[in-house]
Each structure stands twice: as C-alpha cells, then as structure tokens.
Chain A
Amino acid sequence: MANQVPVEEGLFTWPSDSPRLLGSRCVDCGNHMFPRQDDCPKCAGNNTQDVELKNKGTLWTWTIQGYPPKSPPYVGDVDPKTFEPFGVGYVELEDELKVEARLTLNTPEQLKIGMDLELVMIPLCTNKDGDEVVTFGFGPAD
C-alpha cells in the first residue's frame, strides 16, 4: 500500500489510526473554528486554543459535485471519462460547529439531512513522490 500524506499539515491529526480535525476554541467566548485560527470572529478577541474536534456528527446540508472542478486548483481526477461525482456537505458536530467537508456518499438516494456520519480519510491523487495524498471527509457512521 502506498504511503499516505495529508493534503496539508495542520488540518487533522496525522499520522493517526483515528484522525481528528484540528480546530480552535476561543478561550473568552467558547466559539469553535476550523481550521485553526488565532482570532475569534464572534467576540473579536485573539485568545484561542487548539482543540481536536469531534469525529462524529450529523449531516446539516449537502450537494453533489457533478462535474470535474477546474484544475488547478483541484488535484483530484478531472478526466470527464473517469470523474466520479463526489458529495460535499456541512456536518454538525454537536456543541462545536458545522464543518464543510467532502462526503464519501455521492447520490441523492444515499444522502439525507440529519443522517449520522463520522470522519474518514479520502484519497485525492498520487503526488510526484508516489505518495497517496489524502484529505478529510465524512462517511456513514457504523
């Protein structure tokens, strides 16, 4: 199996058997943010701490990317012959935030607002070193 590398450092714990998204929590007002940031847009303070976000949530809304995104910037498959539509949604992590993420499901029949989901890693492409580039996403919870 190819070595896996994250699409960007600092988005999720890596390497890890059970990765978690890395966010920030405002120490002053309790607001959560993803990805990590130093400033809080809710209270306009700059007193935040790093937190690992919940890895389970519920689907708040969704769509399906039905055509290949422009490349650049997209690094995944853009060949119209082989492109597979992919789901994108906001997943509500209780008491934290709704995170925008790719979804492993990609049909209207599979995707329902309110369904339970959990964090997974999604392969994007193979980089020039032969490593498999992965990003975070959500799939059906066990």
Chain B
Amino acid sequence: MASSDDVAIVGIGITSFARSEKSGMDHGVDAVRKAVADAGVGWEDMQFAFGGSSAAGAPDTMVSRLGLTGLQFINVANGCATGGSALFSAVNAIKAGMYDLGIAIGFDKHERGAFRINSKNSGLGQWYGETGMALTTQFFGMKLNRYMHDYGITEDTLGKVGAKAFRNGAMNDNAWRRQELSEGQVKESAMLSYPLTQYMFCSPGEGGVALVLCRADKAHKYTDTPIYLNAAVVRSRRFGSFEVFSRHLAPEWSAGPTVDASKAAFEMAGMGPADMDIAQLQDTEVGAEIMHMAENGFCEHGEQERMIAMGETEISGRLPVNTDGGCLANGEPVGASGLRQVYENVLQLRGDAGQRQVQGDPKTAYTHVYGAPGISGVTILSR
C-alpha cells in the first residue's frame, strides 16, 4: 500500500505526434487540458507546474492561454531527459510536502530531418560541426557497430525491432508513423549511418504530454485507478562512458548513465528487472532498444538476439518493449518523449490501451530515456 509520501498519477493527456500545423506550444496546452480533464479537475486546481521543451519556447508562457492563476511554474531544459526531469522535479515537490497536486508537462516541435547541432554553443568547438561530425546519428551507428561486433547481434535482429515498432505504432491513434513495415523494408531502406538504415532511426518530430500528479493518499479523490510512481531517477555520465558527441574516449570503460539510473531506480522502488511487466526503452534507433534492454538489466549482453527471435519483446511476449511504437513510430519531440513513455505505461496499467493492451493484468511498468550529452532518466510505475 502506498504511504502518504508516495506520489500518484491521476490524470494523463497526450496529443497526436503526427506532423501537423500546430505549434509546439499548442501541443503543450492541449495536453494540459486533456490531463486536468482526465483527473476531473481544472487548471485552477494546479498548485505547481514543471514544463519542459527544448525547441518550442518557454513552457511557462502557456499560462497566458491556460489561465493566470499565479501558480509556481518552473521551466526545465535538460537535453533528451527534459520530460523526465520535469517529472522528477514534480515528484519531489510533492514528496517534499510542499504541494498536494500539480502537473508535469513536456512538449516540442523540431524542424524536419536530423537535429541541427550548434557545436559551438555545445562546447564542442565550431570545427566539430564544420567537419561533419556533429551528428547524433553517427554516435548511434558507431556504438551499435561495436556492440554487434562484441556481442553477435545481427542485421536481422535490427530489422525485427523496426518491424515491431511500426506494428505497434499502427495500433496507436496518436503515433506519427502508423503504417506497418516488414523486416525486409526496414533493412533495405536507405543506409544513413552504417549499420543503420532510414527506418531503423526515429525522426525529430512533435507532440505534447502532461501528467497530473498528487499525494498518493489523496489519489482516490480524483480517480479510481491511481498509478503510483515508485521511482523517478535522472543520471548524467561518469568518466569513461561512451556518449554522443564524445570527441575522444578514455581508455578506461564505464557503463554509462543508463546503467546508473536503472540501478538507482530499482533500488528506490525495492524491485528488480524480473518484477517489470512492461518496459518502454529509448529507441532513438533499433540498436538503442537492443542495447538498452541489457543496460537496464533486462538481459545479459548478447541475449537480445535470442529474445527478439523468440518474440519476447512483442506485446504478446514475456517482456513487451515499446508497446506504443516507441520513438521509431512516434518520432522524437525531445521535451515530450520521456512523458510519452509514462503516459503509455499509465494506459497499460489502467487496462485502457485498447488494441495494444498487454494481457495478463500488468501491475508494474518501466520507462527509460537516454540522450545528449550523456544523460538518462528512468521511472518505475505500479498500480
């Protein structure tokens, strides 16, 4: 039973992640309206907000559209963990006893094509972008190429993960890419950054998500199906880890922020990987999903080859992964992705995921984001 200092999610809102004429801020505002309605409350009931966006404006300006209620509204920008950081901050505001009811918001809208990186502002030097190395896609290709070499992951497995994402996305009304693609179509699309093809990568996109949170002991005021947040953790990189935009790597090796965040989250929740019924794992590209299965403790390195061949990560499998189609089918609006994963887990734990509902009455669910400049966020939910 949840104690009074635990936190529950009592309202959820999401917008369609399909490309549209909407602004990023429109996505944020729409998601907030849906989330407060889902909790059966109004914007004026929100005591605080943490809002995250990396490319779509200052989140707190949305009060001019939602209502000037005077609430504490704090903007969060933390690279690819922006949404996760907004959630982490909201959870702690409640845990600290400062507030009973508030909202975490994440939204974004990016230009088409690969992310344009200002390497000078990122502290990498102007030459890094000028010489054609400031591309996130190169990191993912290089990390995966070495991983396949070390652990025997094959191109067929890359194709299978892509096909699964688009199969799941086809069952998600809010997904951007809703057309199923075969393993062959995924493998044979244009080679962007070896060994990764066009349909093995997610694309920068748009969307918004909001989550209404409250003190767990008050959750039943708002909903019959509160979902409890057992852990929310954000970690940055340690010396020796292999991260996006590393101009050099040390001879030493450390496992990276995902491993650290995962361990800390399991410890905080008092659970382990075997206790998780569903996992949403950062799938910037198909290899990321594969590598993150092991980095989050769900298998040994290399074991993914067999697990994926056996269909264990399908919605019908032992450990369903990325049940809403992940970033591959939903795109990557940086501020929104982490909260999209949590939204999907809340739907699944409520039993409201429709066609893509995981069977067997799931009770626990895991989310993981990873991104620049070497940052990871993990949550564990239960009902």
Query: What residues make up the interface of A, taking CB atoms closer than 8 Å to B?
Result: 7-8, 11, 23, 31-35, 41-42, 60-67, 69-70, 72-76, 86, 88-90, 92, 95-100, 102, 108, 113, 124, 135
Query: Within 8 Å of chain A (Cβ to Cβ): is B4?
Result: no
Q: How close is A62's CB to chain B, nearest CB, in angstroms? A: 6
Query: Within 8 Å of chain A (Cβ to Cβ): is B362?
Result: no
Give the complex CA separation of A88 and B143 in angstroms. 12
| 1/0 contact string of B69-109 vs chain A (CB within 8 Å) | 00000000000000000000000000000000000000000
A62→B142 contact, CB < 8 A: yes
Give residues 109-147 of B contacting A (CB, 8 Å): 113-114, 116-119, 125-127, 129-135, 138, 141-143, 145-146
A102→B145 contact, CB < 8 A: no
B114→A70 contact, CB < 8 A: yes
With a CB–CB cut-off of 8 A, which chain B residues contact A23?
Answer: 248
A88→B133 contact, CB < 8 A: yes
Q: CB < 8 Å: which of B194, B195, B247 contacts A100?
A: B247
Using a Cβ–Cβ cut-off of 8 Å, how many residues does chain B contribute to the interface with A?
Answer: 38
With a CB–CB cut-off of 8 A, which chain A residues contact B195?
Answer: 63, 108
Give the complex CA separation of A74 and B107 in angstroms. 28
Query: What residues make up the interface of B, taking CB atoms closer than 8 Å to A?
Result: 113-114, 116-119, 125-127, 129-135, 138, 141-143, 145-146, 149, 190-196, 239, 246-252
B145→A62 contact, CB < 8 A: yes
A64→B193 contact, CB < 8 A: yes
B125→A66 contact, CB < 8 A: no
What are 24 A-B residue pairs whose CB atoms fall within 8 Å in the complex? A8-B126, A34-B247, A42-B250, A42-B252, A61-B142, A61-B149, A62-B142, A63-B142, A63-B195, A65-B193, A66-B190, A66-B193, A73-B116, A74-B131, A86-B132, A98-B251, A99-B247, A100-B248, A102-B132, A108-B195, A113-B145, A113-B146, A124-B130, A124-B131
With a CB–CB cut-off of 8 A, which chain A residues contact B132?
Answer: 65, 69, 74, 76, 86, 88, 102
* Residue from the set B131, B141, B195, B249 with the largest chain A CB neighbour count within 10 Å: B131
Q: How close is B374's CB to chain A, nearest CB, in angstroms? A: 11
A8→B127 contact, CB < 8 A: yes
Closest partner residue, chain A, to B129 (CB atom): A73
With a CB–CB cut-off of 8 A, which chain B residues contact A74?
Answer: 129-132
A60→B127 contact, CB < 8 A: no
B248→A34 contact, CB < 8 A: yes
A88→B251 contact, CB < 8 A: no
Q: CB < 8 Å: which of A7, A70, A88 contacts B116?
A: A70
A102→B248 contact, CB < 8 A: no
Q: CB < 8 Å: which of A64, A98, A124 contacts B191?
A: A64
A11→B133 contact, CB < 8 A: no
Contact A66/B191 with A90-B249, A95-B251 known, Cβ cut-off 8 Å: yes
Chain B at the A interface: SS class: loop
With a CB–CB cut-off of 8 A, which chain A residues contact B141?
Answer: 63-64
Q: CB < 8 Å: which of A60, A95, A100 contacts B133?
A: A100
What are the 8 closest A-B residue pairs judged by CB atoms, nearest first?
A73-B129, A63-B141, A61-B146, A8-B127, A98-B249, A64-B194, A34-B248, A135-B131
With a CB–CB cut-off of 8 A, which chain B residues contact A41?
Answer: 239
A135→B247 contact, CB < 8 A: no
Give the complex CA separation of A14 and B37 in angstroms. 64
A89→B142 contact, CB < 8 A: yes
A35→B125 contact, CB < 8 A: yes
A7→B127 contact, CB < 8 A: yes
Closest partner residue, chain A, to B124 (CB atom): A35
With a CB–CB cut-off of 8 A, which chain B residues contact A89?
Answer: 142
Closest partner residue, chain A, to B134 (CB atom): A73
A67→B192 contact, CB < 8 A: yes
